[in-house]
Chains A and B, each alone.
Chain A
Amino acid sequence: MLRFILQRALYALPLILVIIVVMFTLLHLIPGDPVQALVGDYPVPPAYRQAIEEKYRLNDPFFVQVWNYVTAVLQGDFGYSYQNQRPVLGLILERAPRTILLASVGFAIAIPLGMTIGVITGTTRSATTDKVWTTSALVAYAIPAFWLGQLLVMFFALRLGWFPTQGIGPLVSRAHGFDWLLERARYLALPALAFAIHEGMRFARIMRASVIDTLSQGYIITARSKGLTRSQIISRHVLRNSSLPLVTIAGYAFGSALSGAVLLETVFTWPGLGLLMVDSIRLRDNLTVVGVVIFSAFAVILMNLLVDIFYALLDPRIRTGG
């Protein structure tokens, strides 16, 4: 297993290098002026432009910039964000846990939700139940997460006043201990729910198809003929075997969610990697953009690795190579 992990890590290295070069090239090609972004919509005084360009070496030739960056990254230095006036790595390490928290809680709701709906619709003998659930899931999945987020804000925050409209936590708080946790949970509730509904409905559709496929397998007929009850069959045989495609999809989805659910973070002013990315692109804070992309690439590679490991645990055939 260790060899397998090391092999994957070695594959990742050239990929990261390619990502750095491609990102630098693309950002270099897009018109933009970070010094103008600092000053706003008034002319930049020449002395200020010179001071900033010299300080952050913005005028170095393109290849020098790429080379300096690659050698720095190999030493663990992801550059300096001139729009945030701090090292990019620190910035990412500060924002990433917020995005991971949102994605994790979202997935923690989405996976059981999707599996439950998938199993219900896949195993039901009632055509009406199947249609109602399947159509509802399709409609909920079709609603863009950011719009769903707005609807949740309008209803649960503005009309009912149960949750705050935006933010990651109260700006002024005297809460401690459990109260503090509860206060934070209120801020997390709506974005996580919007995230969970959208992803959960996608999982439900995959789970349903997978359950129907599993039910037609020979071992299910064997199980029936052995006199196992319906619930025993579902819990012992169907659930486990039908989960494999879901694990694949959820793994990829979680990996990409770690790069920041850009629209959802914007709708809920959730200052994670997504909002950081939007700001950095707008302000042409290129090293931060590249840093976030590298982090996302790592996240996706890592999740793929975890999916493979999880697969092996779920399906002995993969584990034994049979």
Chain B
Amino acid sequence: MKSVLRQTSAILNLRTTSALFACAVCVNASGSIADEGKPVSGGTVIAALNSTTIPTLNTQLTSSVPALFAADVWADGLMTYDKEGKRLPRLATRWETSPDGKTYTFTLRDGVKWSDGKPFTADDVAFTLKNFGKFNTYLTKLMPLVDDVSAPNATTFVLKLKQPLTATLDLFDKEVFPLMPKHIYEGQDVATHPANLAPVGLGPFKFKSWASGQSITFVRNEHYWEKPKPYLDSVVFALIPNPQQRMNALVGGEINWFRPEVSQVKATQEAAKKGNFKVVQIVNNAPETAVVDLNLTREPLKSIKVRQALFHAIDRERIVQDVYQGLAATAKNAIPTQFKDLHDTSVNYDSLYAYDPVKAGKILDEAGYPLKDGKRFTIELTVISVPPYDAVARIVQSQWSQIGIDVKLSALDQQIWTNKVYTQRDFDASVISLTGRTNPVLGVDRSFVCNTGNVPYANPTGYCNPEFDRVALEASAAPLAEQKAHYKTYAEIIARDLNQLALTSSKVFEAVSTDMKGLDAQFNFSFNTHPNWAEAWLPADKQ
């Protein structure tokens, strides 16, 4: 029965995908593009990236934001997501899951070429998984489950797992799993290969040059499969590390696109009133959750009562308003609301842990921490000293102080903070914002699943609950139709144990020049995939 369900859901998924894909095109054809005119070729767009040093462009090897933005220009993958979060085919035209949920068969687009003109085949996909999989941070859960990877013919890629992992398809979207050319990397050290900085890919543009500390230039990929796209002649990435300077550059008309930091969205919206650019909200963004991790190996945070009291003492709505200027929502439970099919609304922190300092005080009294000389206990709250984390931490500090907790704030350099929290585990409470990607397996599990090592950016709290780990594993392997129930249990356990206090879920905005057209199609994406540069075009008089 389960297997039938799986197969049906896979077929349904494909059907929905095709229908949505058709619909996205029809909206564009009849809607905004009709107003904007027919796309014309030519012109250069300048987009800003937030660093002057980018160690690698290969997003099989990094999750850093500048590399991810750049990858949308030069790389492509098997599939992607539209703005509703539905899968869209890219280099895989269709995919099937076997009845036992262990075999995934991808049918690939025929006649596609790499940006250097060499043919793209299923061998490249198999090569990418075999050679980059072990280096890819998102695939750490999948790789131990891989039984066999094969390419029976040029357009078929088959993945066999030892046991089912329902999130498997989510691990093959173009951001998490960009495809790499076998003919470039074969037999060489892929982790430090020069092509990681001068990539050959399947995206709409190909790498041309890198002006150190200044810009990276990509030009039209003549071999791109989706003709007549791309429309632009080139996309240049300006390397501008300072957020204020990125905004200035857009206001000054020197660049055409950037993603504002949360703290500057309002200012960007204000500046956009002049009309030379607009601010677009990404409807279904990747979960970006601000959290407080609590060190459960230390007193008094060992006590569930204390953790619950600490949650009650935080006015999360104030963080939404003061730090995120209203451009965020309070986090509802451990499973972000963006995962519509998995998030259960019955577990809701807004009601479970409503802001109530009096109640928080009472719980602490009961837990054995009454006020003595106006103070209950001291904890160290550590944070990276950059916005918005520092502002979130200051609010948490002031609110915990109000119930008699002496909070010592340590605002640190990111590397020192990482070492303190994850390697040394020398902290009481720690503020950070974590990205969730497209599935709980990617980015949510890491906050709660037992982590006995000292790997950074994975559960530093010392929370090790075999019951929870079992639920997380079962949830990840359950058929699609049954997953929600498992993830409800998942959220309930975390709502009870609270090794991490989820504060807010922020919205994502992008600022783009009004010279650019085809924005509906360009911004038809969700989760972490970024503007679809193949769709962007400039009218002849703006080129």
Interface of A toward B, CB cutoff 8 Å:
30-33, 36-45, 47-48, 51-52, 55, 82-85, 91, 94-95, 150, 153, 157-158, 161, 164-169, 171-172, 266-269, 271, 275-276, 278-280, 282-285
- Interchain CB contact under 8 A, B456 and A33: yes
Known: A95-B212, A167-B249. 16 other contacts (CB 8 A): A31-B415, A33-B423, A33-B456, A43-B458, A44-B137, A48-B134, A55-B191, A82-B55, A171-B211, A171-B217, A171-B236, A172-B44, A266-B242, A275-B241, A279-B51, A283-B55
**B348 sits at the interface (CB 8 A):** no
Contact between A32 and B248, CB atoms less than 8 A apart: no
CB distance from A90 to the nearest CB of B (A): 9
Task: Please tell me which stretch of B56-64, B102-110, B121-129 contacts chain A, meaning at least 4 of its Cβ atoms lie within 8 angstroms of it.
Answer: B56-64
- Decide yes or no whether B401 CB sits under 8 A from chain A: no
CB < 8 Å neighbour of A32 from B197, B245, B416, B434: B416
Does residue B238 face the partner (Cβ distance < 8 Å to A)? Answer: yes
Tell me whether B420 is interfacial, beta carbon within 8 Å: yes
Provide 5 A-B residue pairs closer than 8 Å at the C-beta atoms, listed in order of the A residue: A36-B415, A84-B55, A165-B249, A165-B252, A275-B52
Tell whether B215 is near chain A: CB-to-CB under 8 Å. Answer: yes
* Contact status of A41 and B435, CB under 8 A, knowing A48-B134, A52-B191, A95-B212: yes
Contacts A52-B191, A171-B46; A271 near B239 (Cβ below 8 A): yes
- Whether the pair B63, A84 counts as a contact (CB closer than 8 A) is no
The distance in angstroms between the C-alpha atoms of A157 and B244, with both chains bound, is: 14
Q: Does B457 contact A (CB under 8 A)?
A: yes
Smallest Cβ-Cβ distance to B59: which chain A residue: A40
State the Cβ distance, A223 to closest chain B Cβ, in Å: 53
Kindly report which residue of chain A lies nearest to residue B140, judged by CB atoms: A45
Bound complex: CA of A31 vs CA of B415, how far in Å? Answer: 7
Q: Are B189 and A51 neighbours in the complex by a CB distance under 8 Å?
A: yes
Q: How far is the CA of A55 from the CA of B443 in the complex (A)?
A: 28
Chain B residues with Cβ below 8 Å from A167 are 214, 238, 240, 249, 254
Shortest beta-carbon distance, B232 to chain A, in Å? 12
Report yes or no: A38 in contact with B249, Cβ–Cβ below 8 A: no
- Measured between alpha carbons, how far is A84 from B210 in the docked complex, in Å? 11
Min C-beta distance of B420 to chain A, whole Å: 7
Check A48 against B423 for contact (C-beta < 8 Å): no
CB neighbors of A among B249-274 (8 A): 249, 251-252, 254
B52 and A271 within 8 A (CB): yes
> Counting CB contacts under 8 A, is B5 at the interface?
no
Q: Is the CB of B55 within 8 A of A45?
A: no
- Smallest distance from the beta carbon of B267 to chain A beta carbons, Å? 12
Which residues from A are CB-within-8-Å of B446?
43
Chain A residues with CB under 8 Å of B325's CB are none
- A42, A84, A166: the one contacting B457 at CB < 8 Å is A42
* B→A interface (CB under 8 Å): 44, 46, 51-53, 55-56, 61-65, 134-140, 189, 191-192, 194, 196-197, 211-215, 217, 236, 238-242, 244-245, 248-249, 251-252, 254, 413-416, 418-420, 423-424, 434-435, 443, 446, 455-458
Given A43-B446, A158-B252, check contact A48 B135 (CB 8 Å): yes
Chain A nearest CB: distance from B460 CB in Å? 11
The listed residue (B212, B251, B416) touching A84 by CB distance below 8 A is: B212
Q: Which residues of B contact A40 (CB under 8 A)?
A: 62-65, 137
Q: Say whether A172 contacts B134, CB under 8 Å.
A: no
The reply to whether A271 and B192 contact each other, CB–CB distance below 8 Å, is no
Question: Judging by beta carbons under 8 Å apart, are A153 and B248 in contact?
Answer: yes
Q: Bound state CA distance, A276 and B238, in angstroms?
A: 16
Q: Output the nearest chain A residue to B442 by Cβ-Cβ distance.
A: A42
Chain A residue numbers with a CB within 8 Å of B414 are: 282
Determine how close the nearest CB of chain A comes to the CB of B448; give it in whole angstroms. Answer: 14
Contact B212 A284 (CB under 8 A): no
> Which chain A residues border B139 with CB–CB below 8 Å?
45
Contact A171 B214 (CB under 8 A): yes
A30 close to B416 (CB less than 8 A): yes
Establish whether residues B63 and A39, one from each chain, have CB atoms under 8 Å apart when the complex forms: yes
Q: Do B212 and A91 have beta carbons less than 8 Å apart?
A: yes
A91 smallest CB distance to B (angstroms): 7
A221 CA to B217 CA, complexed, in Å: 66
Q: Tell me whether B248 and A171 are in contact (CB under 8 A).
A: no
Q: How far is the CA of A33 from the CA of B421 in the complex (A)?
A: 13
Check A83/B55 contact, CB under 8 A, given A31-B416, A41-B435, A55-B191. yes
Residues of B within 8 A of A267 (CB): 242, 245
CA gap between A85 and B54 in the complex, in Å? 10
* Distance, CA A157 to CA B251, complexed state (A): 10
Q: A31-B420, A158-B252 are in contact. Are A42 and B138 (CB under 8 A)?
A: yes
- Residues of chain A contacted by B134 (CB below 8 angstroms): 45, 47-48
A142 CB to closest chain B CB (Å) equals 22
